[in-house]
Amino acid sequence: MEKLEYIVPCHFGLEAVLKREIQDLGYEIVSVEDGRIVFAGDKEALCRANIFLRSAERVLIKIGSFHAETFEELFQGTKSLPWEAYIPREGKFWVAKAASVKSKLFSPSDIQSIMKKAMVERMKRIYHMDWFAESGDSYPVRVFIKKDEVTVGLDTTGESLHKRGYRKLTAKAPIAENLAAGLLMLTPWRGSRILVDPFCGSGTIPIEAAMMAARMAPGRNRTFQAAAWEHIVPGRLWNQVKEEADSRVDLTVQTDIQGYDIDDEMVSIARANARLAGVDRLIHFQKRSVEQLSHAKKYGFILTNPPYGERLEDKNNLESLYRALGERYQALDAWSMYLITAYEQAEGAIGRKADKNRKIYNGMMRTYFYQYIGPKPTGNGR
């Protein structure tokens, strides 16, 4: 089958996780860059990447790349790309996003405008048309410019992959679903082991964990931009991959996944979201403060996204909150703890320096993934 190259963006700091996911799907990695992976695959790979990847943000078909230091070079480079191979004459096309780093061309709006004009000029010549009604399916384009190297991709996903479809209600500062999944994959946690999120909010971390435990593909119940592109990806391929995803699901798995929150309303929201995700049977949610965190068994995991203090009213409580988390963690027997936070004094308040510390960007916010690594299970430990 025809091989294409795909560009898959992710959160900065999760590149290794996404690379492993793509390799586990059986595809060849072409390059690893900050915040994105490029891989090669057939047309079925487009469907499988969208449906199965947990830590990705979207999947783009790579249209091409070229060097551009001037707007004229950008125009000519864009015009030289084979747009007609992807966009039919009635297609609606535009540059949905332009990002530039360390490049002479840096104005997103100018980049978008010039590239659109170049695409029109190319297709006017190919289709022998002077005007495009753009009344058909949508073909959003995304462009990355780094050190004057322009990479152009066609967005097959549409709404970002973090939108699985289950989170209808959210907390004030929710963690993105793909970031939660990526953090889980940075730990040794597996579905048969204990997991507790003492600041669960709308339930994202426990829900993503339960979906992983049940082998539930994150994109199996949502739609994608490229599903309408029959000339690129036949509908039968989408159906085959969704059938593959459905066949993998195992809701009989035994789990010990718990989510706590001090807010009654948040607990109700988390339960509702878990029901929508189809994993409510696999998670125990309850109202409980961090000071009440406890568990009788050994070798469990805390994975959480505690408050960062973004809101002024939270700042005064942060030190005591992190201190309580550290005290309760110390009281647990042979557990590991992983938390993502932008709170700079987290380790001091917890009372112990983390074994590992990984910088991850949560959107535009720099955060740290603190890793307190407990002992491996021995004997009958899980």
- pLDDT attached to residue 1: 59
Whether 152 has a pLDDT exceeding 70, the answer reads: yes
pLDDT digits (tens, 9 = 90+) for 28-70: 999 999 999 999 999 999 999 999 999 999 999 999 999 999 9
- pLDDT attached to residue 347: 97
Whether 308 has a pLDDT exceeding 90, the answer reads: no
Strands 92-101 and 28-33: unpaired
pLDDT digits (tens, 9 = 90+) for 335-366: 999 999 999 999 999 999 999 999 999 878 89
End-to-end CA distance of the chain: 44
Per-residue tokens: 46: 């487009």
Q: pLDDT category, 315, cuts 50, 70, 90?
A: low
Give the Cα separation of 303 and 199 in Å (integer): 9
Give the Cα separation of 184 and 210 in Å (integer): 11
What 3-state class would DSSP assign to 89?
coil
Nearby residues of 14 by Cβ (< 8 Å), 6 or more positions away? 55, 179, 182, 186, 360
Place of tokens 């490049």: 103
User: Over the chain, what is the mean pLDDT?
Assistant: 95
- pLDDT attached to residue 380: 54
pLDDT digits (tens, 9 = 90+) for 88-100: 999 999 999 999 9
Q: Give 91-114 as a 3 state SS string.
A: CEEEEEEEEEECCCCCCHHHHHHH
Per-residue tokens: 235: 């509908």
Q: Give 195-241 as a 3 state SS string.
A: EEECCCCCCHHHHHHHHHHCCCCCCCCCCCHHHHCCCCCCHHHHHHH
Give the Cα separation of 381 and 335 in Å (integer): 11
Per-residue tokens: 90: 């009635």
Quick one: average pLDDT of 159-179? 87
Q: State the DSSP code for 15.
A: H
Kindly state the percentage of the chain with pLDDT values over 90: 92
Give the C-alpha distances (Å, rounded to integers) separating 137 from 229, 325, 337: 8, 51, 47
Whether 311 has a pLDDT exceeding 70, the answer reads: no
Per-residue tokens: 346: 């987290």
The answer to whether 285 and 200 have CB atoms below 8 angstroms apart is yes
Give every strand in the sheet of 356-362, ordered side by side: 283-287, 256-261, 194-197, 301-304, 336-341, 365-372, 356-362
Whether 11 has a pLDDT exceeding 90, the answer reads: yes
Q: What is the pTM of this model?
A: 0.95
pLDDT digits (tens, 9 = 90+) for 155-165: 999 999 999 99
For 87, list phi and psi in degrees, rounded to 5: -105, 115
131: number of CA atoms within 13 Å, CB side? Answer: 1
Give the Cα separation of 364 and 126 in Å (integer): 40
Give the Cα separation of 45 and 259 in Å (integer): 34
Whether 314 has a pLDDT exceeding 90, the answer reads: no
Q: State the DSSP code for 344.
A: T
